[in-house]
Amino acid sequence: MLRRLFLTGSTVLLIALNSLPVLAQGNRVLEQIPNLKSLPDATAELQAKINEGSGDLILGADKQYRITAPLVFDLLKLGAVKISAKGGATLVMDGPGPALKILGGHEGTASPQSFKPTTWNERMPVISDIEILGVHPEADGIELQRTVAATISRVSIRWCRHGIHLVDRNRNVAIDTCHLYENSGVGVFLDDVNLHQINVGNSHISYNRQGGIVVRDGNVRNLQVSGCDIEGNMPGDETPTQTANILIDVSTSPGDRTKSIAEISITGCTIQHSANYSKVEGKTNAPGGANIRLAGKEIYPIDSVTISGNVLSDTTTNIDINYALDVAINANNFFAPKPANLTVKNSRRINVTGNTLNPRQFKRPGTIHFQDCDDCVLSSNTVHAFDTDKGAVIIEGCSGMLLNALNFSDCGSGLLLKNSSDITVTNCRMSRTAGWQFKVDNSEDGLIQSGNSFAN
């Protein structure tokens, strides 16, 4: 069934990150730094200091430094560098491009055997303890290219386009204790990059209008996101979007097997906002947005993903998955979707276990919908107050699904099996259901039921 259904195609998510309207961020900087335009252009002075010294850049003599072109750190010439500040220094990017461009020469993998001798001298460029503000609409914060063990810590980036932009090839990146806030593009952008081993932890990534953490194409493995607060990373009004607080996307290269993404963990984060808080009565903020969106492709689905221990709320869909394999969604708290909690299409071996799902103060359908999927598990979840007559849990066009120990309470309707086969439903319970509890629509083939407490 899966092979036939895969051939029906998928929805392609295409987000032109560089062509969407950007916010007028320059005015925000002028509010914070009224004398901005009277600040001298420090670009040439700082670049000379970088090139003529050890390569390190330690800001501190002034509170604000205005630059109009990227400060380039060529690690092939400089070796390992450190970029920091003695006090509360702010770097204001008043031109296009990244404020800090770190350019290494690594052409290998993370294996020590692939390193050239010169690469060891470039190791671990460090950026810490500074603030970067963007004035120009195409100003970015930090760009990493061909680096090894780049470490970004205690950095604030606001009002730029992209916060941290990873391009070409990088290895072993660590981003922690950073504040990436209200940028017009993406907070952390893995842009068609060849990158294995990246950790993003203990950071606030919020109100970046084209996505919080976005991985698009490239060859990416071993992305760990842990202990972060990731909120409102989509349009702040009623503009439709297909972005997400965390977006993993290879759907725009449907025929290219060289572009693939796998081995991801998203753990212990709060990921939310802001579908329910439109200023227009009856409207949805950022309709189409998701907290986590896995947008894979038939030729090479996204695989080996763990989503565990997160708080997820207040987007059109809390988790949206298309073309994925071997995804574990465990011990998360879902609430306040508008309208759906979980949609899974064209996927195999998706394991959804031990989650709580509750709209809290809102009346929402909250649906869990599997469509054209095989060999998935839905087990030991509490499903509360899903306000829908179409099915709180919908299994459509699926085969080999195992549903066990689902506890439905106060829902408008229950479990719908539609055009599916070889489904096992065991030890499920429904209480105080307003409408029907269990419907089987052309899904009798191979259906096994036992130990359930609901009426057909």
- Give the DSSP per-residue string, 398-449: -BS-EEES-EEES-S--EEEES-BS-EEES-EEES-SS--EEEES--TT-EE
- What pLDDT is recorded for position 60? 86
Cβ neighbors of 311 (< 8 A, separation 6 or more) are 269, 270, 271, 272, 332, 333, 335
Half-sphere exposure of 258 toward its Cβ, with a 13 Å CA cutoff?
A: 3
Q: Give the model confidence (pLDDT) of 324-368 as tens digits.
A: 999 999 999 999 999 999 999 999 999 999 999 999 989 999 999
Distance CA 419, CA 373 (A): 12
Alpha carbon distance 417, 438 (integer Å)? 8
Q: How far apart are CA 221 and CA 23, in angstroms?
A: 32
**Structure tokens belonging to residue 427:** 């030890």
Residue 350 parent element (H or E): strand 348-353
pLDDT tens-digit profile of 232-250?
A: 999 999 999 999 999 999 9
For residue 455, being part of any structural domain is answered with no
User: Rounded to the nearest 5 degrees, what angle is found at the Cα of 14, between the Cα atoms of 8 and 17?
Assistant: 165
249: containing domain: 2-450
Q: Tell me the C-alpha distance between 214 and 186, whole Å.
A: 7
**How would you class 14 by CB atoms within 10 Å of its CB: exposed for 0-12, middle for 13-18, buried for 19 or more?**
exposed
C-alpha distances out from residue 208 to 213, 230, 338, 344, 377, Å: 9, 10, 20, 26, 34
pLDDT digits (tens, 9 = 90+) for 95-124: 999 999 999 999 888 899 888 888 888 989
Task: Judge whether 208 lies within some domain.
Answer: yes
Given this model, what pLDDT does residue 24 score? Answer: 56
Q: Has residue 456 been placed in a domain?
A: no
In a domain, 262, yes or no: yes
What are the residue ranges in the chain where pLDDT is below 50? 1-23
- Integer Cα distance of 131 and 157 in angstroms: 6
Does 291 fall in a domain? yes
**CA–CA gap between residue 211 and residue 246 (Å, rounded):** 7
pLDDT of residue 456: 57
- Position 78 in a domain: yes
What is d(CA 347, CA 325) in angstroms, rounded to the nearest whole number?
6
Q: Give the per-residue pLDDT at 47.
A: 97
What CATH number did the domain enclosing 398 receive? Answer: 2.160.20
Q: Give the model's pLDDT for residue 123.
A: 87
194 falls within a domain: yes
Check: CB of residue 198 under 8 Å from CB of residue 221. Answer: no
- Residue whose entry in the numeric block shows the structure tokens 């993998």: 109
Count of structural domains, the chain: 1
Q: What pLDDT is recorded for position 369? A: 99
Residue 66 lies inside a defined structural domain of this protein? yes
Residue 411 CA to its chain's centroid (Å): 30
